[in-house]
Structure 1
C-alpha cells in the first residue's frame, strides 16, 4: 500500500494553518524570530507563500506559541480562525456545505488539507451524531492544544454556516483543566472531563438540516479542485491514520506487529522504527482501536460483556475484562462511568 504522510513530511502550506497561529501570536506582540525559532521557517518565506512544513515543524511552532503567549485562551482563539480558513479550494468546498452532514464529509475526506495534525472521525446512531478525534502524527505535549483548537473550530464553523449555535455536548479524555472557563466561553457548559474518548456529540436531527449560505454549483467545483489537489499529494491521510484504519478493519483477525508490518510491505524492524518516530508503538495503537471498538459496541450497539468479548475474539470474558480495565482504567461493570 502507498504510505500516508509522516511527521517529517513537508506538505503543509505554511501560509495556511501555521500562518493563522503566526498571525495570532504576532497580533499579541510576539516577535516572529522568537516564534519561528527551531521550526526551520523564516517569516519572509511564509508571507511569500512558498514554504511547506511538516507536522513536526507545525508542532514546534505550536510549542513556541504556547510558551511565548502564555495565555489560556490561545488554543481557542486559534481554533476560532481555523475553519473554513483561507486554504483555497478546500475552504470554498467547506464554506458551501449544504448541511452538517456534508461539512463533516468534507472535513473527513480532506483532513490532510483542513486538519492535518488531528483526525476527525464520525459515528452516528439513531439519536446522535458523534465526532471524535485521534492523533495523526504524534502530537505529544501539544495534543490538548490541538484538541481545544479543533473542537472550537468545528463549533465556530457550524455556528457560522448554520446561523445558529448548535447544542454540542463534549467528552474530553483528560482531567478538567484550571482554565475551564475558556471551555465554557468557546464550547459551552455541556462538558464531561476524564471521559474515555475526546468526542463532540449532537442530536441527529441537526445532521441534515439545510444550511442557508451554500451554493451547490460553487461547492461542486471546489470539491473537484480539492480532490485534484489531494491526488497531486499522493495520499489523503497519515501513516498513523492508515494504521488505525487497518487495525479497525481487521480487528476480528489475529493481529500482530509482524502480520501488520507485512500488510504495510515492510519489515517488523522498519515498522517499529516508524511507530517510534511518531511517539507510539504497535500495542498502544492496537489497544486504542480495541478500546474504541468496544466502546462503540457498548454504547451504540447495546452489546453486553460476552458479546463484546466474542466480537473482539477474546477466548474468555475474564481475559477481556482484564484487557478492558487496562484500556480504560475501569471494569466493564462500571459502564455508567464510561460515558459520563
Structure 2
C-alpha cells in the first residue's frame, strides 16, 4: 500500500481545516489571509464543500494554515478549542465506533487503525513496560516548524484528554512529556488540560509521550455496545473500501525501526530498493518532507534510546547494541549530538516513571 505524502489531498478538511478557519475567523482573522500560501480561497472551499459530500486537503495545506493562524490570531487557545470539538462529533461514524469501544485500550487500538482521522499529521505508537503504558507521538508528515509542532501537539492532547474524560467520566493520573520548551501561554494548559487535577506536564523532554497506568486501559465501559461499533466500522468499510492509508514517513519509520531491531542493512540504497525507488527518488521524496535519510535514522535511534534509557533503565552497553552501534563510545557521542546531554546526565536529570 502506497503511503500518502505531504502534498497528497487525503485529510478530511471538514474535520480540522474548516473548523480551524472558523475559529480563527471568529477571533478577527480574515479567512483568505489564513489560506495564504495554499493557492486556495475561502469561497473555493465553500463551493467545493457544497459540490461534494467530502472535502479533502493536503497535510501541507493544513500546516500552512496553522502557521498563518499562529501569526494572525491573538491568544493561544484555538488549538485546545479545536481539540475539544474534535471527539466525537467531528469524527462521524468513527466517533460512533470509538464511543462504543470496550475500554480505553480498545479505543487506542482503533485510533491506531485510523490514525489519519484520529490524529491528523501525527503517528501514534503504544508501548508497555512494567505496569505503565506509553503513548508516543511523532510527526507523520516530516519536519514541522515550532509553531506547527506546538499547535498540533496541543490539539492532539486536548482531543485525547477530552475523549478519555468523556468516556471515563474523569481523568486518570497522566504524565505528559513534551519535546519542546515551556510555552508562554502555560495558563491555557492549566485551563484546558486540567494540570491541577491528575495531569503532570513536563516540557523540553526530548520526546512527546503520555504515560498512563496499564490497568486504566482495560477498565470496562459499562455503556459500550459492541454491535453499534461493528455496524459503524462496517459502514466505514463500505464507504472507504481501500485500506486506510498511513503516511510515507510512517512507512519509512516502521521499516527502519524493524531493520534496526533485526540489525539489518540500513543503507539508503537498500531502503530505496525496498520501496521500489531509486536512491535519488527517495532523497527527493524526503526533501519534500524537509527531511534527509540520515536525519530520519537519527530521529528513530534518538527516540528509542531515550525510551530505553529513562523508561526501561537499560545500560549504555545494552542500548548501544540494540541501536546498531559498534561501541559504547560512539553511542555516547551520538546521544549527546541528538539531545545535547550525555546518557548519564539524562539519567540523573529526568525520571519518567
Shift, 1:16, TM fit: 1.8
Shift, 1:316, TM fit: 1.2
1:255, 1:228 → 2: CA distance? 39
**2:282 aligned residue:** 271
1:118, 1:18 → 2: CA distance? 15
Shift, 1:229, TM fit: 4.9
Q: Give SS of 2:90's match.
A: coil
Give aligned pairs, total.
338
1:299, 1:27 → 2: CA distance? 43
**1:195 aligned residue:** 205
Instruction: Report the CA distance shift for 1:338/1:244 in structure 2 as closer, same or farther (over 3 A).
Output: farther
Q: Give SS of 2:158's match.
A: helix
**2:250 aligned residue:** 241
CA contact (8 A) 1:129 1:203 kept: yes
Counterpart pick for 2:168 among 150, 153, 162 = 162
Greater shift, 32-41 or 67-76, is seen at 32-41
**2:349 aligned residue:** 337
CA contact (8 A) 1:122 1:129 kept: yes
CA contact (8 A) 1:20 1:82 kept: no
Deviations 1:180-215 (A, max 9, x none): 111122223311111020111111221101124422
Counterpart pick for 2:215 among 164, 180, 205 = 205
Q: Give SS of 1:140's match.
A: coil
Counterpart pick for 1:177 among 165, 171, 183 = 183
1:330, 1:253 → 2: CA distance? 28
* TM-score relative to the length of structure 1: 0.92
1:32 equivalent to 2:42? Answer: no
CA contact (8 A) 1:162 1:212 kept: no
1:5, 1:339 → 2: CA distance? 37
2:179, 2:3 → 1: CA distance? 26
1:324 equivalent to 2:335? Answer: yes
**1:287 aligned residue:** 298
Structure 1 gaps of 5+ residues are: none
Shift, 1:235, TM fit: 4.6
Matches within 5 A, 1:1-340: 2-39=1-38, 40-41=40-41, 42-45=44-47, 47-48=49-50, 49-138=53-142, 140-141=144-145, 142-189=148-195, 190-229=200-239, 231-232=241-242, 234-251=243-260, 252-334=263-345, 335-339=347-351
CA contact (8 A) 1:196 1:338 kept: no
Instruction: Report the CA distance shift for 1:278/1:196 in structure 2 as closer, same or farther (over 3 A).
Output: same
Structure 2 gaps of 5+ residues are: none
CA contact (8 A) 1:195 1:339 kept: no
Shift, 1:110, TM fit: 0.2
Shift, 1:230, TM fit: 5.2
Shift, 1:284, TM fit: 1.2
